Amino acid sequence: MKVADLMLTLLAVSFSHCVLVAQVPQAQNPVIFADVPDMSMVRVGNTYYMSSTTMHMSPGVPIMKSNDLTNWAIVGYAYDTLANTNELNLERAKNDYGRGSWASCIRYHNGTFYVSTFSGTTGKTYLYTTKDPEKGPWTSLSFKPSLHDHSLFFDDDGHTYVIWGNGRLMIAEMKEDLTGLKEGTERVLIENASAPAGNNINLGAEGSQLFKVNGKYYLFDITWPRGGMRTVVVHRADKITGPYEGRVALQDKGVAQGGLIDTPDGRWFAYLFRDYGSVGRIPYLVPVRWEDGWPVIGIDGKVPDTLDLKASGGLMPGIVASDEFSRRKNDAPLGMVWQWNHNPDNTLWSVSARKGYLRLMTGRIDGDFLSARNTLTQRTFGPESSGSAAMDVSNMKEGDFAGLSLLQKKYGLVGVKVENGRKSIVMVHAESGKAIEAERFPLSKNVVFLKAECDFNQRKDTGYFYYSLDGAVWTRIGSPLKMEYSMPHFMGYRFGLFNFATKEVGGFVDFDWFRVQ
């Protein structure tokens, strides 16, 4: 072979290799384009586990699993029911929207998984433990007070600590059996943890998560300078009790609140989230390098759009999923992606009463959608998503309203109402804070198909509703819903299947399937 031919061959091989490398898919931010806020994460061997906040939903504190940091699946929940109160049960005109349980902390110590959380509803701190977060069982204990945004930490010397607070951060040692704080150990850890971000603060430092790397302690918090953006502040110390020195670690896109995670091959990332309108608070991963004993977050101080991690295969079916409601003998009644809006009444729903269907029955009179029990929900997701359902309405009673929702305070509904013995397909929205019927059509069939679409592109935050009489041809109904992330609910919009009575009880609807895409 001539030298020139050899050079051309080597160049061709080199070019081909470069093209192949360039075409390897990379992970993208956000790693989950759905509402997964207040993440806490731990690696056990080659497997990652993450907990998150779902507040008033039941079951609560979802546990997610991943082998690569980008492809996640819900594998369990820390609890089925947080507590039986009027607020959590949607009883006596009370509710727990935006409360329930908040920021959790997941840890792994001596072969046991620990998940802690707290509740303003009950005024308690909760600790759940298991050997297997996928199969359980989980044991639970609780104690007072409710420790705001706390971080549970097992130190190398056998002592266990908890850090909590807003702005002024506190620390205490836990009792050996973890049933509460050890008397006489509570003290101020950092008087003003927001200080590195300046004096003009809108949100005091909170969301504490503590880590120990190479003998030093690193405390992550979120704060929000007035007129600025959500900011990551990191403090470090040689002893867990301090003194701590702090600095601003990231100010970009409002991506903040979370902590550190490393990979088996020695890379480091910060897991954080970003408020992104009505879809909710969405998780990001940001590369971390170490410099002079400090974690340096981001690429030149910025959150990258792509990551040197395996590309995501999508959120289905690990985070959201379609459901044909067909169950084998040993299947769980509901898939992991489903959560009830508040505690359900388990006597009023079934996936076995009619094989291959979800039945929602009415058992009391309710005045409005947000007061109704047994709305079955799962996340909407971006940048665009739709949820559709087939519903048999032949057993509805006078005053019943059943269908498909986009659930938040300013909700939208498409469904079937029974009034004066007649059924109608209706679209209702609550953009003004009150339920307004936007459009209706008479319904003569017993099976109807419903669909809700969400557009979160560039925070467009618009929902659209449709119906079909054959499942093939869809007709838009009502007006577009301007979706808004409202603090009273403190949660991204959710698809929901609902049925409630306004005049008499005993009616029911059967959902043949629910499908997301």
CA pair distance 360, 338, nearest whole angstrom: 14
In total, the chain counts a number of residues equal to 517
**What is the token pair recorded at 446?**
């017993």
Amino acid at 256: A
| Three-state SS at 27 | strand
pLDDT digits (tens, 9 = 90+) for 234-271: 999 999 999 999 999 999 999 999 999 999 999 999 99
State the chain's mean pLDDT as an integer.
95
3-class SS letters over 173-223: EECCCCCCECCCCCEEEECCCCHHHCCCEEEEEEEEEEEEECCEEEEEEEE
pLDDT in tens, 164-220: 999 999 999 999 999 999 999 999 999 999 999 999 999 999 999 999 999 999 999
Domains by residue range for the chain, with CATH? 27-307 (2.115.10.20), 339-516 (2.60.120.200)
Q: What pLDDT digit, counting tens, does each position of 402-418 carry?
A: 999 999 999 999 999 99
Position 380 scores a pLDDT of: 98
Edge-first strand order for the sheet with 187-190 is 151-154, 160-166, 168-173, 187-190
SS3 137: coil
pLDDT digits (tens, 9 = 90+) for 97-112: 999 999 999 999 999 9
Q: Locate all alpha helices (DSSP H) within 469-517, ordered by sequence.
A: none
Cα separation, 457 vs 406, whole angstroms: 17
Rg (CA), the chain: 25
Question: Cβ distance 76 to 115 under 8 Å?
Answer: no
CA angle 414, 489, 133 (to 5 degrees): 100
Q: How far apart are CA 5 and CA 40, in angstroms?
A: 57
Q: What is the pLDDT of residue 23?
A: 56
Does the predicted model carry a pTM greater than 0.85? yes
Helix (H, G, I), strand (E, B) or coil at 18: helix
- Over residues 155-177, the pLDDT tens digits come to 999 999 999 999 999 999 999 99
Residue 21: predicted pLDDT: 45
By the 10 Å C-beta count (0-12 exposed, 13-18 middle, 19+ buried), 179 is classed as exposed
- Reported as a pLDDT band with limits 50, 70 and 90, residue 61 is very high
Give the three-state DSSP class for 14.
helix
Cross-strand pairs, 475: 467
1-48 pLDDT, tens per residue? 444 454 444 444 444 444 444 456 899 999 999 999 999 999 999 999
Q: Say what the alpha-carbon torsion angle 249, 491, 485, 251 is, to the nearest 10 degrees.
A: 0
- Picking from 157, 276, 139, 145, the residue whose alpha carbon sits closest to that of residue 217 is 157
Nearest Cα residue to 61 out of 280, 284, 339, 315 = 339
